[in-house]
C-alpha cells in the first residue's frame, strides 16, 4: 500500500493512478489523517452487473413524508 498526502496526490495524480492500474492500493491522508482509499477495480467485477440493494420495509422518502405530516 502506498501512502500520500492530499497535496502530493493532487500534484502527481497520474503517477498514483498508474500505480492503481498496476494493482497497488493508495491511501490519501488529509491533515495527517486517512481520508480516502483508492483500490483498483478488478476486471472480473462489473459494476453494471451488480444487483441493486433492496431493504424490506417502508422507503426512506415515504418515511420522511409520514414524519412531516405527523408534525403538522
What is the band of 48 on the pLDDT scale with cuts at 50, 70, 90? low
For residue 10, is it within any domain? Answer: yes
Domain count, the chain: 1
Q: Are 25 and 16 in contact (CB under 8 A)?
A: no
Tell me which DSSP letter residue 22 carries.
T
Q: Give domain status of residue 61, yes or no.
A: no
Query: Which residues have CB under 8 Å from 1's CB, separation 6+?
Result: 24, 25, 26, 27
Q: Tell me, yes or no, whether 49 lies in a domain.
A: no
What is the average per-residue pLDDT within 8-21?
96
Residue 71 covered by a domain: no
| Domain at 34, CATH number | 3.40.1620.10
- Categorize the per-residue pLDDT at 36 as very low, low, confident or very high, splitting at 50, 70 and 90: very high
9 exposure class (CB count in 10 Å sphere: 0-12, 13-18, 19+):
buried
- pLDDT band at residue 44 under the 50/70/90 scheme: low
The verdict on pTM exceeding 0.75 is no
Long-range CB contacts for residues 54-57, cutoff 8 Å, separation at least 24: none
Mean of pLDDT values over 44-51? 62
Per-residue pLDDT, 11: 97
Amino acid at each position: 500500500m502506498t501512502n500520500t498526502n492530499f497535496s502530493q496526490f493532487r500534484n502527481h495524480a497520474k503517477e498514483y493512478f498508474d500505480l492503481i492500474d498496476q494493482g497497488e492500493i493508495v491511501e490519501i491522508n488529509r491533515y495527517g489523517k486517512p481520508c480516502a482509499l483508492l483500490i483498483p477495480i478488478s476486471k472480473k467485477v462489473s459494476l453494471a452487473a451488480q444487483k441493486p440493494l433492496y431493504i424490506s420495509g417502508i422507503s426512506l422518502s415515504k418515511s420522511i413524508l409520514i414524519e412531516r405530516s405527523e408534525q403538522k
